[in-house]
Amino acid sequence: MKSRLARYAVACSIAAALAGTQAQAGAPPTPHPVAAIQDTETPAQRDARMAWWREARFGMFIHWGIYAVPAGFWQGKPVDDAGEWIMNAGKIPVADYKKFAPQFNPTQFDAHTWVSLAKAAGMKYIVITSKHHDGFAMYPSKANPFNIADATPFKRDPLRELADEARRQGLKFGLYYSQAQDWTAPGGAAMGGHWDKAQDGDFAHYLHTKAIPQLKEILATYHPDVLWFDTPTAAMTPQLSSEIVSLLNQYPQLIWNNRLGGGYPGDTETPEQHIPPQGFSGKDWETCMTINDTWGYKSNDTHFKSTKVLLQNLVDIASKGGNYLLNVGPDAHGVIPAPEAERLQQIGHWLDVNGESIYGTSPTPFADAHGSFSSSEKDQDGKPRWIPVWDWRATSKPGKVYVHLFQWPSKSFHVDDADIQATGAYLLADPHHTPLKVTQHGKQLDVQLPAKPLDSIDTVLVIQTKS
């Protein structure tokens, strides 16, 4: 099972690389050759910089590149890994992989359609791949000719079009950049090692002649609100990473994640494909996740999560104080697959009514665990796997607790350890906000409910509280 192994390798290497970036309790912090903005700003400055991101809660990740051309198939056979990993998993020689570029002509790409979909889904920001591990730049790069303007018949700049359209529609715009792995540039890192002599070279030379110049380009050209690094690998030493940090420091409002490397924690924790049982208390965090089983488009991956699962994930994450960066993988024509778009639209319909219970909320005020650790199954870090129970979750704002009821209780919503003082209750989707009967004895709280839920996935019960 190549795909499992590949993903396991990725998870392990990320965990190893991140281990150095997340200050261990009691351990001295990693000395940084260059201090990052994060090290020097006051808590108030940080709060101001992170404010829009914390309010947002829901973003669109887009993995789009020339890997959409093979779409999961190499030499007529399916390659059992994520679509954007096809070059590595299929051990495709550099010269052969580069031949996908002249076949990439996504004439149906329409920034307005994509951004409108993100907006209709209730997403507040977009993060798109400017260069993934294959080394192909999705914008006209002067620093390296393996890019959309020089190597494809598609003479447009999708990042420019998306950045402009996102801002026109009021969304923030972020860029993903694979700084360490680059499978087509000599010296670029490759998880599992190089498989083609054309990949061999000096990593620092690659970083100085391609990655850093391209990072300069994308920062200066698109002024992204977020820079999303990935798979740092051990090659990203503190010294090399600090050269990138010096650049990032020139953009004091920029938000960047914890995957740069070199001991830099960045701004956000980035659990991938899972929701941490307790979130990351006191930290900004964002779960990134695929809708099916691939980030980049694969024509044979139809394993789409249901709207119910995706929506419950969004709520679960919000109840723990995190953001949900949900991925779409557009095809080689420039179209976001219909099953992905449908699910996003359905989530958006729910958010149209219930968005107040997600955006800008704080975590649950209740102590309920909503799950347990498995005694037999392990997670990607080898720790007991968290098995969630999908009964209900809660989010909060001053004066209100939002109880998300995934399973409709027969008569009333009841908790034994409510550290709140309830003053009233109603259902958020009820246009009249008809008052519901609330009974509270100490920490025991009971809210009487109507016989049927108002939403088949998540009916939100609002409990008004003394702030």
Each residue 224-243 as x (binds ligand FHN by CB under 6 A) or -, in order, gives ------xx------------
Distance of closest approach, residue 294 Cβ to ligand FHN, in angstroms: 9
Q: Is 294 in the site for ligand FHN (CB under 6 A)?
A: no
Distance of closest approach, residue 225 Cβ to ligand FHN, in angstroms: 18
Q: Is 288 in the site for ligand FHN (CB under 6 A)?
A: yes
**Cα–Cα distance between 403 and 389 in angstroms, integer?**
15
Distance of closest approach, residue 441 Cβ to ligand FHN, in angstroms: 47
Residue 13 vs 459, nearer CB to ligand FHN: 13
Q: Is 81 in the site for ligand FHN (CB under 6 A)?
A: no
Q: Is 260 in the site for ligand FHN (CB under 6 A)?
A: no
**Binding residue for ligand FHN (CB under 6 A) from 84, 269, 331, 455?**
84
Residue 14 vs 218, nearer CB to ligand FHN: 14
Q: Buried (b) or exposed (e) across 406-424, using 16+ Cβ within 10 A?
A: bebeeeebebeebebebee
Distance of closest approach, residue 297 Cβ to ligand FHN, in angstroms: 12
Quick one: angle between helices 158-168 and 111-120, nearest 10? 40
Do residues 462 and 426 make contact, with C-beta atoms less than 8 angstroms apart?
Answer: yes
Q: Is 14 in the site for ligand FHN (CB under 6 A)?
A: yes
Q: Which residue has the tokens 């990725």?
A: 10
Listed ranges 39-47, 79-87, 219-227, 453-461: which one lies at the site for ligand FHN (CB under 6 A): 79-87
Q: Is 462 in the site for ligand FHN (CB under 6 A)?
A: no
Cβ-based burial of 437 (10 A; exposed 0-12, middle 13-18, buried ≥19) = exposed
Distance of closest approach, residue 175 Cβ to ligand FHN, in angstroms: 13
Each residue 261-280 as x (binds ligand FHN by CB under 6 A) or -, in order, gives -----------x--------
Residues forming a β-bridge with 441: 444
Do residues 13 and 233 make contact, with C-beta atoms less than 8 angstroms apart?
Answer: yes
Do residues 39 and 33 make contact, with C-beta atoms less than 8 angstroms apart?
Answer: no
- CA 236, 241, 247, 250 dihedral sign is positive
Using alpha carbons, list the distances in angstroms from residue 397 to 317, 401, 467: 15, 6, 9
Residue 231 vs 357, nearer CB to ligand FHN: 231
Listed ranges 81-89, 235-243, 335-343, 417-425: which one lies at the site for ligand FHN (CB under 6 A): 81-89
Distance of closest approach, residue 67 Cβ to ligand FHN, in angstroms: 9
Q: Is 217 in the site for ligand FHN (CB under 6 A)?
A: no
Listed ranges 80-88, 100-108, 370-378, 432-440: which one lies at the site for ligand FHN (CB under 6 A): 80-88
Residues forming a β-bridge with 257: 268
Give SS3 for 175. strand
| # of chain residues touching ligand FHN (CB under 6 A) | 10
**Checking DSSP bridges between strand 125-131 and strand 58-62, what pairing results, if any?**
parallel
Do residues 350 and 256 make contact, with C-beta atoms less than 8 angstroms apart?
Answer: no
Distance of closest approach, residue 193 Cβ to ligand FHN, in angstroms: 15
Residue 10 vs 121, nearer CB to ligand FHN: 10
Q: Is 301 in the site for ligand FHN (CB under 6 A)?
A: no
Listed ranges 82-90, 96-104, 234-242, 376-384: which one lies at the site for ligand FHN (CB under 6 A): 82-90
**Cα–Cα distance between 56 and 349 in angstroms, integer?**
17
Contacts of 306 (CB under 8 A, 6+ apart): 343
**Of the candidates 173, 169, 202, the residue with the CA atom closest to the CA atom of residue 185:** 202
Q: Is 10 in the site for ligand FHN (CB under 6 A)?
A: yes
Distance of closest approach, residue 10 Cβ to ligand FHN, in angstroms: 4
For 334: left if phi > 0, alpha if psi spans -120 to 50, otherwise beta; the answer is left
Q: Both tokens of residue 206?
A: 């690659």
**Binding residue for ligand FHN (CB under 6 A) from 114, 295, 392, 413?**
295
Using alpha carbons, list the distances in angstroms from residue 262 to 202, 233, 251: 18, 9, 19
Q: Is 82 in the site for ligand FHN (CB under 6 A)?
A: yes
**Cα–Cα distance between 351 and 240 in angstroms, integer?**
43
Do residues 292 and 303 make contact, with C-beta atoms less than 8 angstroms apart?
Answer: yes
Distance of closest approach, residue 289 Cβ to ligand FHN, in angstroms: 9
Residue 16 vs 51, nearer CB to ligand FHN: 16
Listed ranges 77-85, 113-121, 205-213, 236-244: which one lies at the site for ligand FHN (CB under 6 A): 77-85
Residue 270 vs 464, nearer CB to ligand FHN: 270
Q: Which of residues 320-339 bind ligand FHN (CB under 6 A)?
A: none
**Checking DSSP bridges between strand 172-177 and strand 226-229, what pairing results, if any?**
parallel
- Positions touching ligand FHN (CB under 6 A) are 10, 14, 82, 84-85, 230-231, 272, 288, 295
